[in-house]
Amino acid sequence: DTGSGLASSPRIIALANQKGGVGKTTTAINLAAALATSGLKVLLVDMDPQGNASTGLGVGYDARRSGTYAMLEDGERAAAVVQPSAVPGLSLIAADTELAGAELELVMSDRREYRLHEALAQVGADYDVILIDCPPSLGLLTLNALVAAQSVIVPLQCEFFALEGISQLVRTVNSVRQSLNPALKLDGIVLTMYDRRNNLSELVAEDARSFFGDRVMETLIPRNIRISEAQSHGQPVMNYDQRSSGSLAYQALATEVTDRLGLHAVTKGKAR
Ligand code: ADP
Ligand code: MG
């Protein structure tokens, strides 16, 4: 505690990769749930118009009341659009149905890259960690996430062409750091859908380690059917099947992320 009496600001982490289907949303949901279960106050922001993070936490399409779009339109609404989830300590800003039009509308708005940053400043003091689930593109929604965040975590699917497009993502992160957000760091790569019976998974892991060195998380997320089943039931895997390999892996990832990013310290600095 700095003794200043000011609430400490949260660590904001964007889950980004312009490829779809690599595990961004799955990692956002399950990392958020595991961090919350470890005692941190966590907010998950669904920035993908597909709304899979919202669905995966039990907020289906028909239940999408005001969420991310309303907040980007008017940052003052941030606190009003936060909703609780079934996981204690985990709150959600869901993708509302209008979010699909936001990318285009943002182009014409003031301070268009800072909308999320400014909105989250309204609610940040209530959380230790904010995770942002990005859409599969490097457009304005992802740019808003990169401007709001201090950390980027990139899920990489252990499949052919896993690293394709990665240098473009790294360039984007670097240029955001140089222009809009000097605090931004690429803090980690998470290998997802790892299959130890398949040599390809190990080859992707080796490639990722030679490109990113120790920024590759030691925790490997296995391919595990319970993970996708849980999502279709609107639950994090640790609530759906706590002993499954997917659940154990995401709990281990939460511990690793907590250590690597020093998330303990944020909590300790908080009066609770
Ligand atoms: P993205 O958000 O990057 O588009 P998702 O997280 O939605 O990717 O994952 C794509 C699909 O793969 C989803 O159907 C999800 O349930 C499934 N999936 C993700 N990770 C795993 C895993 N470790 N094991 C099994 N299925 C997974
Ligand atoms: Mg997704």
- Give dist(CA 217, CA 155) in Å, integer: 10
Q: Residue 128 pLDDT more than 50?
A: yes
Strands ordered across the beta sheet of 90-93: 83-84, 90-93, 42-46, 129-133, 11-15, 151-157, 185-194, 216-222
Q: From the alpha carbon of 194, which atom of ligand 1 is closest?
A: 23
245-260 helix and 24-37 helix, angle to the nearest 10 degrees: 70
Cβ 9 vs Cβ 130: under 8 Å: no
Q: How far is the CA of 271 from the centre of ligand 1 (A)?
A: 36
Q: Which residues line ligand 1 (CB under 6 A)?
A: 20-26, 52, 136, 192-193, 221, 223-224, 227-228, 231, 246
- Segment among 32-36, 74-78, 163-167 with least mean pLDDT: 163-167
The residue whose CA has the least distance to atom 24 of ligand 1 is 223
pLDDT at 203: 94
Q: How far is the CA of 23 from the centre of ligand 1 (A)?
A: 4
What is the mean pLDDT of the segment spanning 252-264? 94
CA 6 and chain centroid, separation: 26
Q: From the alpha carbon of 155, which atom of ligand 1 is closest?
A: 3
pLDDT digits 0-9 by tens, 198-236:
999 999 999 999 999 999 999 999 999 999 999 999 999
Q: How far is the CA of 247 from the centre of ligand 1 (A)?
A: 14
What is the mean pLDDT of the segment spanning 87-108? 94
Provide, rounded to the nearest whole percent, the portion of the chain with pLDDT above 90: 86
Counting ligand 1 atoms within 8 A of each CB, the residue from 15, 17, 26, 45 with the most, and so the one to mutate, is: 26
Q: What is the pTM of this model?
A: 0.95
pLDDT at 225: 98
> pLDDT band at 266, cuts 50/70/90?
low
The residue whose CA has the least distance to atom 14 of ligand 1 is 228
The residue whose CA has the least distance to atom 16 of ligand 1 is 228
Domains and CATH numbers, the chain: 11-262 (3.40.50.300)
> pLDDT band at 269, cuts 50/70/90?
very low
Q: How far is the CA of 20 from the centre of ligand 1 (A)?
A: 9
Residue labelled with tokens 């400014």: 118
Average pLDDT, the chain: 93
Looking at the CA of 153, which ligand is closest? 1
- Give dist(CA 187, CA 180) in Å, integer: 18
Provide, rounded to the nearest whole percent, the portion of the chain with pLDDT above 70: 94
- Is the confidence metric ipTM above 0.90 for this complex? yes
Q: Residue 88 pLDDT more than 90?
A: yes
> pLDDT band at 271, cuts 50/70/90?
very low
The residue whose CA has the least distance to atom 26 of ligand 1 is 228
Looking at the CA of 22, which ligand is closest? 1
- Segment among 48-52, 89-93, 130-134, 159-163 with least mean pLDDT: 159-163
Q: How far is the CA of 127 from the centre of ligand 1 (A)?
A: 26
Q: How far is the CA of 227 from the centre of ligand 1 (A)?
A: 8
DSSP string, the chain: --SS-PPPPPEEEEE--SSSSSSHHHHHHHHHHHHHHTT--EEEEE--TT-HHHHHTT--GGG--S-HHHHHH-GGGHHHH-EE-SSTTEEEE---TTHHHHHHHHHTSTTTTSHHHHHHHHHGGG-SEEEEE--SSSSHHHHHHHHH-SEEEEEEESSTTTTTTHHHHHHHHHHHHHHT-TT-EEEEEEEEEE-TT-HHHHHHHHHHHHHHGGGEEEEEEE--HHHHHHHHTTS-HHHH-TTSHHHHHHHHHHHHHHHHTTHHHHHHTS--
- Give dist(CA 220, CA 165) in Å, integer: 21
> pLDDT band at 7, cuts 50/70/90?
low
